[in-house]
């Protein structure tokens, strides 16, 4: 099960999700391999983390490549990410789209019922509550439990205060305009995000992205701290969930990784940078 790439022989995550035996598959959104490996030993007490290669650099692409051509009708998806929803809202991102209603037995819309407008995300505690209720009511199915952390906005810094519901956010941001100015296209291709943020601020146009705002306030180190603290938060809640189901085969992985200041860049999507495609795989029997 290896995939020959320019990075060398790597394990393809899609094959393991599709063919591996599991009862509960836990997805940590934007979780990179290196930091997870370091923190999992401290929090979960397990250090044998396998490095895998994600097929994608963003969530919709990952959903499309992992589930679109496969049968997961025996799976209930507990989703804190609105990209997987039962409302018939079909997200589009980077030329990919995904309709979760067509691929799973049921979708639990925690992104809707557990949405916290004070932090503009879903707290992992609310994901646990929804997952436990569903697993206790429908114990015969397999489960995918998708947490938003450690993806920003970081709860450690209070999240965001936009109070925008995920549906509004999808409608506003999922399909960005393609008529970007020539300057923007050139800037995004040749300049780092830190450089673009500096130029924008000097022109009276400070960043609107939460990571840009955090960078000006706390720097690269502050962004990584927020990421690590939110990963610690979600892992502690994952640990509680694992203890409740000791007889289940549980796997922890991610949809993609995250840039945390490498070459002045942040977030994910676009180029298949090492930190974006290398993700963890940790099994509990």
Beta bridge partners of 78: 108, 145
- Is the Cα dihedral 82, 88, 89, 94 positive or negative? positive
Note down pLDDT in tens along the chain; length 285 residues.
Answer: 344 434 445 788 998 999 889 999 999 999 999 999 999 999 998 778 999 999 999 999 999 999 988 889 999 999 999 999 999 889 988 899 999 999 999 999 999 999 999 999 999 999 999 999 999 999 999 999 999 999 999 999 999 877 667 776 665 544 444 444 555 666 677 899 999 999 999 999 999 899 999 999 999 999 999 999 999 999 999 999 999 999 999 999 999 999 999 999 999 999 999 999 999 999 997
> What are the structure tokens assigned to 123, written together?
């707290």
* Planar angle of CA 142, 154, 164, nearest 5 degrees: 85
Which secondary structure element, helix H or strand E, spans residue 24, and what is its range?
A: strand 24-28
Peptide linkage before 71 cis (omega within 30 of 0): no
Q: What does the domain layout of the chain look like in residue ranges?
A: 8-180+229-284
Radius of gyration from C-alpha coordinates of the chain: 18
Q: What CATH number labels 8-180+229-284? A: 3.40.720
Number of other CB atoms surrounding residue 257 within 10 Å: 24
* HSE of 78, CA atoms in CB hemisphere, 13 A: 26
Peptide linkage before 153 cis (omega within 30 of 0): yes
Number of other CB atoms surrounding residue 35 within 10 Å: 19
pTM for the model stands at 0.91
Pinpoint the alpha helices (H) of 1-32: 13-19
Nearest-10 crossing angle of helices 210-244, 124-137: 30
Which secondary structure element, helix H or strand E, spans residue 96, and what is its range?
A: strand 96-97
């Amino acid at each position: 099960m290896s995939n020959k790439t320019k990075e060398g022989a790597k394990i393809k995550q899609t094959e393991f999700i599709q063919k591996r035996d599991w009862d509960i598959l836990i997805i940590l959104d934007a979780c990179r391999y290196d930091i997870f490996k370091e923190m999992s030993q401290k929090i979960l007490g397990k250090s044998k983390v396998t490095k895998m290669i994600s097929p994608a650099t963003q969530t919709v692409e990952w959903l499309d490549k992992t589930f679109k051509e496969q049968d997961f009708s025996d799976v209930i998806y507990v989703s804190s990410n609105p990209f997987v929803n039962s409302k018939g809202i079909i997200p589009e991102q980077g030329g990919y789209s995904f309709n979760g209603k067509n691929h799973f037995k049921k979708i639990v819309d925690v992104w809707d019922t557990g949405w916290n407008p004070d932090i503009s995300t879903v707290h992992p505690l609310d994901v646990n509550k929804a997952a436990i209720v569903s697993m206790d009511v429908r114990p015969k199915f397999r489960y995918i439990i998708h947490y938003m952390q450690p993806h920003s906005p970081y709860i450690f810094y209070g999240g965001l205060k936009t109070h925008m519901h995920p549906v509004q956010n999808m409608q506003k941001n999922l399909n960005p305009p393609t008529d970007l100015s020539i300057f923007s296209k050139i800037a995004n291709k040749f300049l780092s995000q830190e450089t673009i943020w500096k130029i924008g601020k000097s022109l009276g146009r400070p960043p609107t992205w939460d990571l840009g705002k955090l960078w000006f306030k706390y720097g690269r180190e502050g962004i990584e701290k927020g990421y690590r603290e939110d990963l610690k938060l979600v892992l502690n809640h994952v640990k509680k969930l694992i203890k409740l189901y000791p007889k289940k085969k549980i796997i922890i992985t991610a949809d993609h990784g995250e840039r945390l200041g490498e070459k002045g860049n942040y977030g994910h999507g676009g180029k298949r940078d090492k930190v974006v495609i290398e993700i963890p795989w940790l099994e509990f029997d």
